[in-house]
Amino acid sequence: MPEAVFLIALVLIGVAGGVFIVIVLSIHVEDWRGSTTHRPPGPFTRGTRRILGLHVDHSACVYASNPDFACPKCKRSYKPSVN
């Protein structure tokens, strides 16, 4: 019986360590690519964003009437209104 408990604990520690490594690597990939404000580049980074609760809101970019205050990461072009 103690061997089974030890084996289960060892498996759970391995799974937790594996998840931790995947999260750390995904964070490094997003930081290296500068893709935090874009769509996730893959399933691991998508899962990492979900686990960490990262959500980028670009709704303010739609209402930016001044190009100086527009979000540089969302890639939306500034089009002045024609009067």
Hey, what are 49's tokens?
């964003």
Helices (H) and strands (E) in the chain, counts: 3, 0
Give residue 4's pLDDT.
92
- Residue 53's pLDDT band, with cuts at 50, 70 and 90, is confident
- Residue 68's pLDDT band, with cuts at 50, 70 and 90, is low
Q: Count other Cβ atoms within 10 Å, centred on residue 35.
A: 15
Closest-CA residue to 58 (of 80, 73, 46): 73
What's the mean pLDDT in 2-21? Answer: 93
Give residue 6's pLDDT.
93
Hey, what are 80's tokens?
């002045």
Closest-CA residue to 36 (of 83, 66, 80, 73): 73
Q: Is the pLDDT at 77 greater than 60, yes or no?
A: no
Hey, what are 43's tokens?
């399933």
Q: pTM of the predicted model, to two decimals? A: 0.56
Hey, what are 23's tokens?
């999260």
Give residue 14's pLDDT.
96
